[in-house]
């Protein structure tokens, strides 16, 4: 058995699957993925729990599988959360430097960060992340580390992600009920972007879209910092549901048709083609027009991208994405999705690949595991930070301690 302190597990309770990724932190700080467990999720809609008992059962299944594979006992997890209630926005905090010589001390930095976090949230909301962007000293923007500089006013920009406390509690409580500890709660959009982006891409500016089963998360990095994030409570489930409705087939059948014949674009050659559905005796039940199938999918996926594009346009970030768009999540498997996204965003789009982790690579380089792997990576950064070996890049900070203990 391994020494437990080196084991980091990421848990994502998703709409279509529950996935556990186990990583081992090497002495040099590199992460090696040693285990993976997953189970079909049956008690989650739009990334929120609707049937706790079912989720608990599925969760135990996924945990068992991951523990078997990694041959370790998982005691605590980094928990990925999502849902339509989660919002992100930018906030600025200011703090006057009071020391006589006007030199900025670590205490000043702590104070200004505290100020930036003091925000007006709806009463039922809680902060999930407050990510430091840049400091400003006397109006000079873009200061990465102001300690030791001289100035009268210290400011900091932060990206704050918040969500409904009770809904976040639900999943935390459930995980704790299976006698697991929750190390930290992480917005899955951040986890995915950690898994997919390297520092260069963050510097150039990139948009990461995680097309999940129930929700679509997106995160924008520019100039090395997180600038924007959001969740659309629309995902692969909606595609299946549209198909079930439009083609008049049961949902389970729609799901299969989506996987087998789905496409994000209407292919010219499918025009007029039909598929016949047969029953177990081989008798024809129904004929489905392939073009309709693809058009229904295409419209839905295009709409998701359009909504994201509109949001970026609104916050004025569309011009900052020089590294383009990266796609992940189960939805990224849909053929033609990259092309569709290119049409909508008018920029370079790639299917994201997880970087900077090692381990069972073939199994790992699947778009739907990006969030799980990102959770492990988040955990590794955090652990290193805790051990004081390095400063956590971009100051991902946990504000969730209180919340976790409360439950």
Told to check if 245 binds another protein by CB under 8 A, we report yes
Nearer to another protein, 22 or 247 (CB): 247
User: Are 330 and 16 contacting, i.e. CB atoms less than 8 angstroms apart?
Assistant: yes
Among 17, 159, 202, 238, binds another protein (CB under 8 A): 238
The residue behind tokens 């709660």 is 185
Site string for another protein, 284-313 (x = CB under 8 A): -----x--x--xx--xx-xx---x------
Minimum distance, C-beta of residue 284 to another protein, in the bound complex (Å):
20
Minimum distance, C-beta of residue 246 to another protein, in the bound complex (Å):
5
Binding to another protein (CB under 8 A) within 313-352 occurs at none
Which positions ≥6 away from 295 have C-beta within 8 Å?
266
Q: How many CB atoms lie within 10 A of CB 23?
A: 29
Instruction: Give the total of residues touching another protein (CB under 8 A).
Output: 24
Of 70-78, 140-148, 229-237, 325-333, the window that binds another protein (rule: CB under 8 A) is 229-237
Rounded Cα gap, residues 189 and 169, in angstroms = 18
Q: How far is CA 163 from CA 85, 159, 187, 218, in A?
A: 6, 13, 10, 15
Nearer to another protein, 239 or 321 (CB): 239
Told to check if 391 binds another protein by CB under 8 A, we report no
Among 45, 384, 385, 397, binds another protein (CB under 8 A): 45
Nearer to another protein, 98 or 251 (CB): 251
Q: Helix axis angle, 251-261 relative to 290-315, nearest 10°?
A: 80
Minimum distance, C-beta of residue 337 to another protein, in the bound complex (Å):
15
Instruction: Give the residue from 390, 280, 407 showing the smallest Cα distance to 30.
Output: 390
Q: Could you tell me the maximum CA-CA distance found in the chain, to the nearest angstrom? A: 88
Rounded Cα gap, residues 338 and 326, in angstroms = 9
Binding site for another protein (CB under 8 A): 45-46, 50, 84, 232-234, 237-238, 241-242, 244-246, 251, 289, 292, 295-296, 299-300, 302-303, 307
């Amino acid at each position: 058995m391994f020494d437990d302190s080196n084991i980091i597990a990421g848990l994502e309770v998703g709409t279509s699957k529950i996935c556990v990724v186990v990583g081992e932190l090497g002495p040099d700080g590199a992460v090696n993925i040693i285990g993976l467990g997953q189970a079909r999720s049956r008690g989650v809609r739009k990334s929120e729990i609707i049937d706790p008992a079912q989720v608990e059962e599925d969760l135990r299944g996924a945990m068992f599988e991951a523990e078997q594979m990694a041959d370790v006992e998982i005691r605590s997890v980094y928990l990925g959360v999502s849902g339509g209630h989660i919002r992100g926005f930018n906030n600025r905090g200011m703090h006057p430097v009071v020391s006589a010589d006007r030199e900025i001390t670590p205490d000043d930095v702590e104070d200004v960060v505290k100020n930036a976090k003091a925000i007006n949230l709806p009463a039922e909301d809680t902060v999930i992340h407050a990510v430091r962007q840049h400091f400003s000293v006397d109006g000079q923007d873009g200061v990465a580390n102001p300690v030791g500089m001289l100035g009268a006013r210290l400011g900091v920009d932060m990206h704050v992600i918040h969500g409904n406390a009770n809904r976040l509690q639900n999943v935390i409580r459930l995980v704790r009920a299976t006698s697991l500890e929750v190390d930290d709660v992480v917005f899955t959009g951040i986890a995915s972007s950690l898994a997919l982006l390297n520092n260069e891409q963050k510097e150039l500016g990139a948009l990461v879209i995680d097309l999940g089963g129930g929700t679509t998360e997106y995160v924008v990095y520019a100039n090395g910092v997180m600038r924007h994030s959001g969740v659309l409570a629309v995902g692969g489930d909606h595609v299946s549901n549209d198909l079930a409705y439009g083609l008049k087939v049961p949902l389970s059948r729609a799901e299969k048709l989506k996987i087998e014949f789905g496409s994000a674009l209407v292919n010219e050659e499918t025009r007029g083609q039909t598929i016949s559905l047969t029953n177990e005796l081989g008798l024809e039940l129904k004929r489905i027009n392939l073009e309709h199938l693809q058009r229904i999918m295409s419209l839905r996926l295009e709409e998701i991208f359009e909504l994201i594009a509109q949001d970026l346009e609104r916050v004025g970030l569309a011009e900052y994405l020089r590294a383009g768009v990266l796609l992940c999540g189960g939805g990224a498997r849909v053929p033609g999705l990259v092309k569709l996204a290119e049409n909508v965003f008018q920029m370079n789009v790639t299917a994201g690949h997880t970087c900077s982790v090692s381990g069972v690579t073939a199994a790992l380089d699947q778009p739907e595991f990006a969030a799980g792997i990102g959770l492990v990576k988040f955990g590794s950064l955090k652990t290193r930070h805790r051990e004081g070996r390095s400063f956590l890049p971009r100051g991902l900070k946990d504000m969730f301690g209180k919340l976790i203990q409360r439950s």
